[in-house]
Amino acid sequence: MTGKVDLLLKGGRVMDPSVGLDAHKDVAFTDGKISAILDSNSPVEAKEVQDVSGCIVCPGLIDLHTHVYWGATGLGVNAEDIAGRSATTTFIDAGSAGAGNFGGLKHFIADNTDLRILGFINISFAGICGFSKKKANLFPECEDIRLLDTDECLEAIEKYRESIVGIKVRIGRYASGSAGMTPLQIAREVGEETGLPLMTHVDFPPPDRDDVLNYLRPGDVLTHCFRPFPNAPLYGNGSIREAVTQARERGIIFDLGHGGGSLSFQVSRKMLEQDFLPDTISSDVHLMSVDGPAFDILVTMSKFLCLGMPLMDVIRASTTRPAEAIQRPDLGNLQVGSPGDAAVLRIEEGRFEYYDVKKELLLGDKRMIAEKMVVKGKIWR
Ligand SMILES: [Zn+2]
């Protein structure tokens, strides 16, 4: 190393799933980027040194499914309010905005924070416009075909291409009424034209999750993948449905999307027992899930750690895998030259209560705590 680095995280256990690194190292940041991964206690001059011994240092967390269009949509939360407690450096908004209001998500939210905020654009022109705290689904934005305009969506994608990582479509009895597969077909049309992946929400039928999975393309995301009955990934006898296994083989990405109605411990246990881990662990944090049961990505990660998912896999599903899902290989790793984002986590042992969306209690023996995070090469304060 020549010259002074800006920031040094010293003495931590560094875990970078992108290269399978798990070792005690020091991590240096310069000019907003990761500038070196050094053997512990290497002599290096730093403007700021943070002792992180006893902690895990991993890439900044990427929450693939959030709703952070605060103030403009009924379900939006303020990303800055939950970033520090959960070490989330990147929030991917999952369809809060459509062609009619994506510009506001970029200009009023994403451009006014040091956090990285990107979005799946909703195939519905209005975005997720009909949520209130009293009534979760006042208006299903994907039900009325007049709102599902391919040309409007295409034009918005061209205009905000840098901020858009894919197309969101919400289907199911509550998100699209009896429209069945129609909104998904319209979204895929735009996906094929732009080369962008889809993120598909499925709640109650119609449509059937098997039909949805068979219709998705490799690289498309199924969110709420461990939801309870109906449209759970399991048969009633607890075995994984063939359509689910086949979809994984074809390269469909299974995203957790905890939220207020989409994570079942019972389903998760059965899936993990059969070695089917979620590709990405996301919170689906919004106004109705931010105070529980989901809270944020870190609480969701703690639940999976307590359910027996190995630590490196939990971290991969919240860093490297979501980066791959949004086709941003520069993110979700701690390699030299990558953006200077990192999470400093501590695992507390004890007795902790966790709940799923069915109010099932899980008594866990671990809790992941965000000690610090680094955004653009600086400690987030
Ligand atoms: Zn959502």
pLDDT tens, position by position, 282-309? 999 999 999 999 999 999 999 999 999 9
CB contact set of 242 (below 8 Å; sequence gap of 6+): none
User: What distance in angstroms lies between residue 64's CA and the mean position of ligand 1's atoms?
Assistant: 10
User: What distance in angstroms lies between residue 31's CA and the mean position of ligand 1's atoms?
Assistant: 35
User: What distance in angstroms lies between residue 132's CA and the mean position of ligand 1's atoms?
Assistant: 14
**Polymer length in residues for the chain:** 381
Note the Cα 222 to chain centre separation in Å. 12
What is the percent of the chain with per-residue pLDDT over 70, rounded to a whole number? 99
Mean pLDDT value across residues 59-83: 97
User: What distance in angstroms lies between residue 32's CA and the mean position of ligand 1's atoms?
Assistant: 31
User: What distance in angstroms lies between residue 114's CA and the mean position of ligand 1's atoms?
Assistant: 23
- Other C-beta atoms within 10 Å of 257: how many? 30
User: What distance in angstroms lies between residue 38's CA and the mean position of ligand 1's atoms?
Assistant: 39
User: What distance in angstroms lies between residue 265's CA and the mean position of ligand 1's atoms?
Assistant: 19
pLDDT higher than 60, residue 7 = yes
What is the percent of the chain with per-residue pLDDT over 90, rounded to a whole number? 96
Written as one string, the DSSP assignment of 248-282 is: HHHT-EEB---TTT---HHHHHHHHHTT---SB--
Q: How far apart are the first and last CA of the chain?
A: 27
Sheet containing 116-122: which strands, arranged edge to edge? 61-66, 88-98, 116-122, 164-171, 198-202, 221-223, 253-254
Q: d(Cα 169, Cα 166) in Å, to the nearest integer?
A: 10
Residue 133's pLDDT is 82
User: What distance in angstroms lies between residue 183's CA and the mean position of ligand 1's atoms?
Assistant: 16
Residue 1's pLDDT is 56
- Cα–Cα distances in Å, from 38 out to 75, 212, 225? 43, 46, 38
pLDDT higher than 60, residue 64 = yes
Residue 137's pLDDT is 78
Sign (positive/negative) of CA torsion 109, 110, 116, 120? positive
Residue 220's pLDDT is 98
Residue 223's pLDDT is 98
Mean pLDDT value across residues 48-54: 97
358 secondary structure, DSSP code: T
CB contact set of 22 (below 8 Å; sequence gap of 6+): 13, 14, 15, 312
User: What distance in angstroms lies between residue 225's CA and the mean position of ligand 1's atoms?
Assistant: 12
User: What distance in angstroms lies between residue 133's CA and the mean position of ligand 1's atoms?
Assistant: 14
pLDDT higher than 70, residue 332 = yes
69 close to 93: Cβ distance less than 8 angstroms: yes
User: What distance in angstroms lies between residue 282's CA and the mean position of ligand 1's atoms?
Assistant: 10
User: What distance in angstroms lies between residue 260's CA and the mean position of ligand 1's atoms?
Assistant: 9
User: What distance in angstroms lies between residue 333's CA and the mean position of ligand 1's atoms?
Assistant: 25
Q: d(Cα 361, Cα 363) in Å, to the nearest integer?
A: 6
Q: d(Cα 86, Cα 61) in Å, to the nearest integer?
A: 8
Q: d(Cα 108, Cα 104) in Å, to the nearest integer?
A: 5
User: What distance in angstroms lies between residue 196's CA and the mean position of ligand 1's atoms?
Assistant: 19
Element containing residue 188 per DSSP (H, E): helix 182-194
User: What distance in angstroms lies between residue 306's CA and the mean position of ligand 1's atoms?
Assistant: 24
Residue 330 corresponds to which tokens in the numbers above?
């520069």
User: What distance in angstroms lies between residue 295's CA and the mean position of ligand 1's atoms?
Assistant: 13
225 close to 252: Cβ distance less than 8 angstroms: no
User: What distance in angstroms lies between residue 33's CA and the mean position of ligand 1's atoms?
Assistant: 31
Element containing residue 167 per DSSP (H, E): strand 164-171
Residue 41's pLDDT is 85
User: What distance in angstroms lies between residue 288's CA and the mean position of ligand 1's atoms?
Assistant: 10
Band of the pLDDT at 2, cuts 50, 70, 90?
A: low
pLDDT tens, position by position, 216-263? 999 999 999 999 999 999 999 999 999 999 999 999 999 999 999 999
User: What distance in angstroms lies between residue 125's CA and the mean position of ligand 1's atoms?
Assistant: 16
Residue 122 corresponds to which tokens in the numbers above?
């909703």
Q: d(Cα 83, Cα 372) in Å, to the nearest integer?
A: 10
User: What distance in angstroms lies between residue 226's CA and the mean position of ligand 1's atoms?
Assistant: 14
User: What distance in angstroms lies between residue 58's CA and the mean position of ligand 1's atoms?
Assistant: 25
Residue 336's pLDDT is 98
Band of the pLDDT at 140, cuts 50, 70, 90?
A: very high
Question: For the chain, what is the mean pLDDT?
Answer: 97
Q: d(Cα 234, Cα 242) in Å, to the nearest integer?
A: 9
Band of the pLDDT at 3, cuts 50, 70, 90?
A: confident
Domains by residue range for the chain, with CATH: 5-58+337-347+368-379 (2.30.40.10), 61-325 (3.20.20.140)
Residue 364 corresponds to which tokens in the numbers above?
């866990």
pLDDT tens, position by position, 181-200? 999 999 999 999 999 999 99
Q: Are strands 33-39 and 46-51 parallel, antiparallel or unpaired?
A: unpaired
CB contact set of 78 (below 8 Å; sequence gap of 6+): 68, 70
User: What distance in angstroms lies between residue 312's CA and the mean position of ligand 1's atoms?
Assistant: 25
